[in-house]
């Protein structure tokens, strides 16, 4: 491991793809089938970045078949989102520039493997990444830093030389706990939702607004919304 190596670590849902509204719809439908009425905004803030089994335990308790229920929920999500599958504007250009500069590319997601296959293979992106870490690879979801630290370790890059791309507060907190800078995309929440985080270096609507060299030169003290 050398400090000259750098990495970009991408959350997947809501970051590589603008799909969180479809995840929320699938969760609302899932819980409605079981007689639970969920407030969408509060649910997102409480759960985005957490693993499915963690969400199930929070809302349904320990005495249910989390594996079967999570499979049902994720299948519903994929059915809803499949016609809309696309990367966020500017993503493909940014990772092409990063790869050309020798920057390592990592996915760090709370998604199960079925959703990783659905998204990355559906968009023919898997080969673009040097490492992919999902829910099945770590014990704890965000805001714990496990997924980002595992991703950095896989590509041999120090946390201080990694930049995490996120759309959710729990993900930004996970990056903070990992000792990593974060770029926020406002695909899901406004910039004001991230005001408390001291590791955010940039807030943007999409990847087209970002400059790779400027991001690596940035420190949290320089963070400003674009």
47-51, 58-62, 96-100, 199-203: least confidently modelled range: 47-51
Mean pLDDT on 8-27: 94
What is the predicted pLDDT for the residue at 37? 83
- Whether the per-residue pLDDT at 2 is higher than 60: the answer is no
In angstroms, the CA 212 to CA 222 distance is: 15
- Domains in the chain, start-ordered, CATH in brackets? 7-18+86-225 (3.40.50.1000), 20-84 (1.10.150)
Active site residues: 11
The reported pTM is: 0.85
Name every residue whose Cβ is closer than 8 Å to that of residue 83 and which is 6 or more positions away in sequence: none
- Whether the per-residue pLDDT at 100 is higher than 70: the answer is yes
- Whether the per-residue pLDDT at 34 is higher than 90: the answer is no
Using pLDDT thresholds of 50, 70 and 90, give the confidence band for residue 13: very high
What is the predicted pLDDT for the residue at 3? 41
In angstroms, the CA 154 to CA 152 distance is: 5
Chain segment 105-136, per-residue pLDDT in tens: 999 999 989 999 999 999 999 999 999 999 99
How do beta strands 104-108 and 7-10 pair? parallel
Cα distances (angstroms) measured from residue 89 to each of 83, 93, 140, 143, 209? 17, 9, 30, 26, 9
Using pLDDT thresholds of 50, 70 and 90, give the confidence band for residue 159: very high
Chain segment 170-192, per-residue pLDDT in tens: 999 999 999 999 999 999 899 99
Q: Write out the chain in H/E/C secondary structure.
A: CCCCCCEEEECCECCCECCHHHHHHHHHHHHHCCCCCCCHHHHHHHHCCCCHHHHHHHHHCCCCCHHHHHHHHHHHHHHHHHHHCCECCCHHHHHHHHHHCCCEEEEECCCCHHHHHHHHHCCCCHHHCCEEECHHHCCCCCCCCHHHHHHHHHHCCCHHHEEEEECCHHHHHHHHHCCCEEEEECCCCCHHHHCCCCCEEEEECCHHHCCHHHHHHCCHHHCEEC
- Whether the per-residue pLDDT at 221 is higher than 60: the answer is no
Using pLDDT thresholds of 50, 70 and 90, give the confidence band for residue 4: low
Using pLDDT thresholds of 50, 70 and 90, give the confidence band for residue 204: very high
Share the mean pLDDT of the chain: 90
What is the predicted pLDDT for the residue at 49? 67
In angstroms, the CA 149 to CA 50 distance is: 16
CB 150 within 8 A of CB 137: yes
């Amino acid at each position: 491991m050398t400090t000259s190596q750098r990495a970009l670590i991408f959350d997947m849902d809501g970051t590589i793809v603008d799909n969180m509204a479809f995840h929320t719809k699938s969760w609302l439908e899932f819980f409605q089938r079981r007689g639970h009425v969920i407030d969408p905004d509060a649910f997102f803030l409480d759960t985005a970045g957490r693993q499915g089994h963690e969400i199930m335990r929070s809302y349904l308790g320990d005495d249910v078949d989390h594996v079967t229920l999570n499979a049902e929920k994720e299948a519903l999500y994929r059915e809803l989102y499949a016609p809309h599958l696309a990367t966020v504007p500017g993503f493909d250009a940014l990772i092409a520039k990063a790869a050309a500069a020798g920057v390592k590319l990592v996915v760090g997601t709370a998604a199960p493997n079925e959703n990783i296959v659905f998204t990355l293979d559906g968009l023919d992106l898997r080969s673009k990444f040097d490492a992919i870490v999902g829910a099945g690879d770590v014990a704890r979801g965000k805001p714990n830093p496990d997924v980002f630290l595992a991703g950095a370790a896989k590509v041999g890059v120090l946390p201080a030389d990694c930049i995490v791309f996120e759309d959710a507060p729990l993900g930004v907190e996970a990056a903070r706990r990992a000792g990593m800078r974060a770029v926020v995309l406002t695909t899901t929440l406004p910039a004001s939702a991230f005001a408390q985080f001291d590791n955010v270096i940039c807030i943007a609507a999409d990847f087209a607004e970002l400059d790779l060299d400027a991001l690596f030169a940035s420190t949290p003290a320089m963070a400003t919304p674009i």
